[in-house]
């Protein structure tokens, strides 16, 4: 009986130890799960003429001012929850050219010296888990310039124009963790314009074009998907609140008409595209592109006739002045 009691007691101890072990492992798994789903954040703030430091903002929100003719004199940017990834940035300062590259959490620019920042460049280095950094600048007399990314210049150089505001965001550029993901489409155009945010689109069904990424000779596009959103944040998170074509089986990549949507006049839109090749391998999303609509009148557009070019053999007519000298048209 004593042996039985000892065995019973030992069994209880083992059960308790197993329970503790399971509880500890569960706790570790929960912690690991939280670490695995941690979303990186990018926050930033600007030092504005006559105002000083503004509050921290993130996710494509504006730091600085628009319409107030105030300089953005300094900037500080912080990247968090993305270990192994290094954020670098530098600015072009009035009378000083480009500053040195600085890292996350460093103030760059000038304070109390009344100097303009003309432009900014940002880049990510290291293990960034497929993220890209996108940004754009609001410049005096030009307004918002086009969206750029990964080391390109936002702002102006050599024009002595002050940068007044800035918007920054992170984008998870890779849609699949598979090593087979091919490169992204590029050369995006709207109505065959490479910079559609510098013009106005009047067509209610604008034509989109892109260059197809190919991974081997003879390869071609088999399908595509286009997303159009009213904000960059929605686009980055794959929310096509304006239009989502879903996967379309087609090799078309030039003048692909946007249908079944209602674009709003005098509004900015953002779009991106991804493709599938002949082996049905999915590409990465393209970089976002922004375009602006003008006064859209679908009734007028639908009623506008389209005339094709026709070769003729009609010779130019001669026109005579009263003095009798012929002029050829």
Residue 155: the pLDDT is: 93
Measure Cα distances from 175 to 60, 130, 223 in Å. 21, 9, 16
| Residue 94 pLDDT grade (very low, low, confident, very high; cuts 50, 70, 90) | very high
Whether residue 61 is found in the same domain as residue 114: yes
Nearest to 150 by CA among 163, 166, 133, 167: 133
Whether residue 197 is found in the same domain as residue 288: yes
Instruction: Inform me whether the pLDDT recorded for 12 exceeds 60.
Output: no
Residue 34: the pLDDT is: 41
What is the chain's mean pLDDT, rounded? 80
Question: What CA–CA distance (Å, rounded) separates 285 from 225?
Answer: 9
* Largest CA-CA distance found in the chain, in angstroms, rounded: 140
Whether residue 225 is found in the same domain as residue 272: yes
Tens digit of each residue's pLDDT (9 = 90 or more) over 157-191: 989 999 999 999 887 654 433 334 457 898 899 99
Residue range of the domain that includes 137? 41-172
Residue 14: the pLDDT is: 43
Question: What CA–CA distance (Å, rounded) separates 153 from 139?
Answer: 13
Helix (H, G, I), strand (E, B) or coil at 69: coil
Whether residue 166 is found in the same domain as residue 48: yes
Q: Is residue 143 part of a domain?
A: yes
Residue 59: the pLDDT is: 79
Tens digit of each residue's pLDDT (9 = 90 or more) over 98-146: 999 999 999 999 999 999 999 999 999 988 888 889 999 999 999 988 8
Q: What DSSP designation does 283 have?
A: B
Question: What CA–CA distance (Å, rounded) separates 103 from 263?
Answer: 41
Residue 53 in tokens: 């430091």
Q: Is residue 321 part of a domain?
A: no
**Which of 172, 200, 233 delimits the end of a domain?**
172
Q: Provide the β-strand partners of residue 137.
A: 166
Whether residue 62 is found in the same domain as residue 160: yes
Residue 122: the pLDDT is: 95
Whether residue 52 is found in the same domain as residue 163: yes
Task: Work out the end-to-end distance of the chain between its first and last CA atoms, rounded to an integer number of angstroms.
Answer: 124
Q: Is residue 304 part of a domain?
A: no
Q: Is residue 115 part of a domain?
A: yes
Q: Are strands 102-103 and 143-144 parallel, antiparallel or unpaired?
A: unpaired
Residue 184: the pLDDT is: 84
Q: Residue 139 — φ and ψ, nearest 5°?
A: -115, 145
Cα three-residue angle 237-240-242, rounded to 5 degrees: 145
Please report the sign of the dihedral spanned by the C-alpha atoms of residue 136, residue 254, residue 185, residue 284. positive
Whether residue 222 is found in the same domain as residue 167: no
Q: Which residue has the tokens 């497929």?
A: 130
Q: What's the whole-model pTM score?
A: 0.51
Whether residue 122 is found in the same domain as residue 193: no
**Which of 172, 204, 238 delimits the end of a domain?**
172
Q: Are strands 143-144 and 186-190 parallel, antiparallel or unpaired?
A: unpaired
Question: What CA–CA distance (Å, rounded) separates 40 from 133?
Answer: 12
Residue 305 in tokens: 């006739």
Q: Is residue 327 part of a domain?
A: no
> In a 10 Å sphere around its CB, with 0-12 CB exposed, 13-18 middle and 19+ buried, how is residue 25 labelled?
exposed
Question: What CA–CA distance (Å, rounded) separates 37 from 235?
Answer: 21
Q: Is residue 19 part of a domain?
A: no
Sequence-ordered list of residues with C-beta below 8 angstroms from that of 287, at least 6 positions apart, any chain: 132, 134, 147, 149, 184, 186, 188, 272
Instruction: Inform me whether the pLDDT recorded for 63 exceeds 90.
Output: yes
Whether residue 259 is found in the same domain as residue 283: yes
Pick from 182-186, 220-224, 243-247, 306-310: least confident: 306-310
Nearest to 89 by CA among 148, 25, 139: 148
Residue 312: the pLDDT is: 54
Q: What is the CATH number of the domain that holds 220?
A: 2.60.40.10
Residue 179: the pLDDT is: 36
Q: Which is more confidently placed, 67 or 14?
A: 67
Whether residue 156 is found in the same domain as residue 237: no
Q: Is residue 21 part of a domain?
A: no
Whether residue 142 is found in the same domain as residue 253: no
Residue 317: the pLDDT is: 60
Q: How many domains does the chain have?
A: 2
- In the chain, % of residues over pLDDT 90: 43
Residue 31 in tokens: 């912690």
Tens digit of each residue's pLDDT (9 = 90 or more) over 193-241: 988 888 888 888 899 999 988 766 677 899 999 999 998 888 888 888 8
| Residue 6 pLDDT grade (very low, low, confident, very high; cuts 50, 70, 90) | very low
Residue 155: its H or E element:
strand 153-155
Residue 166 in tokens: 């800035």
Whether residue 51 is found in the same domain as residue 160: yes
Instruction: Inform me whether the pLDDT recorded for 32 exceeds 60.
Output: no
């Amino acid at each position: 009986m004593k042996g039985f009691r000892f065995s019973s007691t030992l069994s209880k101890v083992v059960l308790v130890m197993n329970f503790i072990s399971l509880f500890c492992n569960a706790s570790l798994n929960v912690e690991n799960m939280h670490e695995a789903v941690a979303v990186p954040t990018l926050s930033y703030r600007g030092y504005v003429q006559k105002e000083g430091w503004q509050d921290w903002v993130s996710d494509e929100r504006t730091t600085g001012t628009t319409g107030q003719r105030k300089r953005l004199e300094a900037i500080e940017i912080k990247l968090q929850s993305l270990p192994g990834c290094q954020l670098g940035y530098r600015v072009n300062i009035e009378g000083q050219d480009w500053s040195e590259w600085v890292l996350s959490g460093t103030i760059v620019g000038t304070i109390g010296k009344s100097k303009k920042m003309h432009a900014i460049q940002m880049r990510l280095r290291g293990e960034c888990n497929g993220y890209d950094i996108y940004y754009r600048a609001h410049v005096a007399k030009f307004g918002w310039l086009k969206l750029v990314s990964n080391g390109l210049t936002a702002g102006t150089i050599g024009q002595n124009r002050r940068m007044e505001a800035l918007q920054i965001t992170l984008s998870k550029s890779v849609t699949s963790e598979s090593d087979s993901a091919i490169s992204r489409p590029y050369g995006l155009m709207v109505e065959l314009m490479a910079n559609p945010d510098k013009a106005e689109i009047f067509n209610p069904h604008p034509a989109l074009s892109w260059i197809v990424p190919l991974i081997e000779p003879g390869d071609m596009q088999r399908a595509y998907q286009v997303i159009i959103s009213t904000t960059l944040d929605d686009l980055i998170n794959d929310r096509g609140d304006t239009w989502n074509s879903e996967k379309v089986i087609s090799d078309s990549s030039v003048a692909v008409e946007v249908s079944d949507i209602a674009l709003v006049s005098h509004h900015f839109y953002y779009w991106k595209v991804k493709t599938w090749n002949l082996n049905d391998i999915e590409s990465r999303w393209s970089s976002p592109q922004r375009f602006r609509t003008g006064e859209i009148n679908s009734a007028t557009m639908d009623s506008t006739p389209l005339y094709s070019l026709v070769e003729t053999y009609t010779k130019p007519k001669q026109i005579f002045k009263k003095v009798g000298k012929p002029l050829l048209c």
